[in-house]
């Protein structure tokens, strides 16, 4: 689905910033689980939260099926694969490896947040790591 330029870019930048922050955390592997349902439910909750909803305001979810599904998330993840930002390694394809060290969008995205949103963003990143991150082996 075609969406408006600005909001779509914001969601894109939010996702890139989120992935970069995960890759930057030494306690986690630079990868997240390629769990379709888990990913869509995570971003659905981000959208429902009054504090974080604005990060993905233009994501439209189909809630009529098996679980909340947003076509834009699938498209974005596919584009990140194509650009080389993410990579699903052989042979299991069970993870998305984050293949960039630092997103140039991280600061750009965070600088636009209000102080309340900064806290909410931190909470979203923590939840993402907890639910879909892979703890680093000691």
Partner 1 sequence: MQGEEVLSEFLARVSDFVKRSLSDYRPERHAKPKSIRDAIWGTCPFNPWEIAILDSPLLQRLRDLRQTGVASLVYPTALHTRFDHTLGVVTVASRIVRSINEKHLERRAPGGPQDLRISHKDHRRVRLSALLHDVGHSCLSHVSETIFGATEEFGRLIRHINVTFGVTPKPHEIMSWLVVRCEAFGAFIDTLRQSEILPESDFSPGDIEDIAGNIIGYRKDPKTKFLADIINGPMDADKLDYLARDAYFAGPTVVYDLDRFLHTVDAIEYPRCGPTAEEPTVARLSIPIEGVTALEQIIISKLMLFSYLYHHHKIRCVEGMCHEALARCMEVSKRHPRAKTYPRLDHPVSFLSHSDRSLFPVSWPPPVMGDKVAGELFSMLARRELYKRALIISRLFLLDLDANDHAKFGFERLLGYGTDAAGRGELRQHIFEVAKKEMGSRRHREAAKGLLRRFRPHHVIVDIPRSPTVEETEAVMVPVLAEGTRGAHHANQDFVPLSDIFPIEKWVDAYNAIKWRGHVFAVDEAVRFVNAAARAVLAAPPYNLQFTYQATDLCKLDEPIPLPPAIGRSLLAGV
Residues that bind partner 1 (CB under 8 A): 1-5, 8-9, 12, 16, 34, 36-37, 41, 44-45, 60-71, 74-75, 78-85, 88, 93, 99-105
Which residues are CB-contacts of 67 (< 8 A; sequence separation ≥ 6)?
37, 40, 41
Residue 5 vs residues 12, 58, 125, 128: alpha-carbon distances, Å: 11, 10, 24, 25
In the complex, least distance from residue 122 CB atom to partner 1, rounded to whole angstroms:
22
Q: Which CB sits closer to partner 1, 27 or 64? A: 64
Candidates 22, 45, 5; CA nearest to 95 is 22
In the complex, least distance from residue 30 CB atom to partner 1, rounded to whole angstroms:
13
Q: Which CB sits closer to partner 1, 6 or 138? A: 6
User: In the chain, what is the greatest distance between 2 CA atoms, to the nearest angstrom?
Assistant: 44
Round to whole Å and give the CA distance between 96 and 30.
9
In the complex, least distance from residue 7 CB atom to partner 1, rounded to whole angstroms:
9
Q: Which CB sits closer to partner 1, 40 or 116? A: 40
In the complex, least distance from residue 55 CB atom to partner 1, rounded to whole angstroms:
16
């Amino acid at each position: 689905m075609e969406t408006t330029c600005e909001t779509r870019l914001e969601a894109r930048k939010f996702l890139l910033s989120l992935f970069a922050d995960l890759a930057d955390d030494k306690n986690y592997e630079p990868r997240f689980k390629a769990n379709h349902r888990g990913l869509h439910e995570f971003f659905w909750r981000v959208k429902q939260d009054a504090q974080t909803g604005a990060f993905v305001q233009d994501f439209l979810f189909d809630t009529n099926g098996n679980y909340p599904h947003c076509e834009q998330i699938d498209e974005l993840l596919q584009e990140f694969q194509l650009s080389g930002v993410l990579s699903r390694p052989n042979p299991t394809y069970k993870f998305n490896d984050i293949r960039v060290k630092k997103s140039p969008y991280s600061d750009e995205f965070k600088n636009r947040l209000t102080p309340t949103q900064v806290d909410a963003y931190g909470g979203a990143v923590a939840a993402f790591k907890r639910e879909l991150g892979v703890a680093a082996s000691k």
